[in-house]
Amino acid sequence: MNKQIELQELGEKDYKATWDYQESLFKTILDLKIKNRREDLSLETPNYFLFVEHPHVYTLGKSGDMSNLLINETQLAEKGATFYKVNRGGDITYHGPGQIVGYPILDLDNFFTDIHKYLRFLEETIILTLAEYGLKAERSEGETGVWLDVGTPFARKICAMGVRASRWVTMHGFALNVNANLGYFDNMIPCGIRGKAVTSLNVELGQKEVDVNEVKDKLLKHFKTLFEAEFVTK
């Protein structure tokens, strides 16, 4: 089993271009797995982890409701935002500057074949990272992502999640609000959940700006421990 994960820093990159790139990596792994099975081979499959920041964009998952986007095409253009229907789970999500987006493209045969465990580990990566900033982040039963003040009238989401998996290969991932412009969340019903607020790490810490690279380092540290993985750069 290959527990090495190739880390790629994509910087700021268009959502559709990144999605296409994810798909190409995803297909590379799937094709290799199919080749191994058909030809009775045991070629090692690669794993990838992409860090990226997107320009303003709204994406709607397979089970999403279009009515959860509260603005039309003209208003999207006025706000400098784009919109895509995508092949991940979940409902509507916003991505934009000041947000850390992580896309693990893993062959779970290299780690464990349990999609629920995978999702719990993604959540735990975020929870442990936020704990280092003195925040008690939690899961919210029946609601995706990572939240603060769960079970109170002040519950608010700080990290959205949505994944796709086929033959135990994953894509898409998480979006953690670090220095996000929360005004953009007013243009949608986040993840289709009414009456729930959204927050960002800088807001919770009362800081103008949080060091994004420091947050990434903490995320990678906890991801590495949970998945018993090794990160490499090429």
User: What are the two backbone dihedrals, phi and then psi, of residue 228, each rounded to the nearest 5 degrees?
Assistant: 50, 50
191 is annotated as an active-site residue: yes
- Contact between residue 170 and residue 163 where contact means Cβ atoms under 8 Å apart: yes
Residue carrying structure tokens 């990272």:
129
Question: CB neighbours of 184 closer than 8 A, spacing ≥ 6?
Answer: 56, 79, 81, 94, 96
Report which of 92, 90, 81 is spatially closest to residue 15, judged by C-alpha positions: 81
Among 191, 210, 219, 220, the one annotated catalytic: 191
Token pair recorded at residue 208: 């103008």
Query: Which residues sit in the known binding site?
Result: 88-95, 160-162, 173-175
- Nearest residue to 217 via CA among 151, 132, 115, 91: 132
d(C-alpha 109, C-alpha 115), whole Å = 11
**226 class by beta-carbon count within 10 Å (0-12 exposed, 13-18 middle, 19+ buried):** middle
Bridge partners (DSSP) of residue 147 are 138, 157
CA–CA gap between residue 47 and residue 170 (Å, rounded): 10
Q: Which residues are annotated as a binding site for substrate?
A: 88-95, 160-162, 173-175
Annotated catalytic sites, by residue?
A: 191
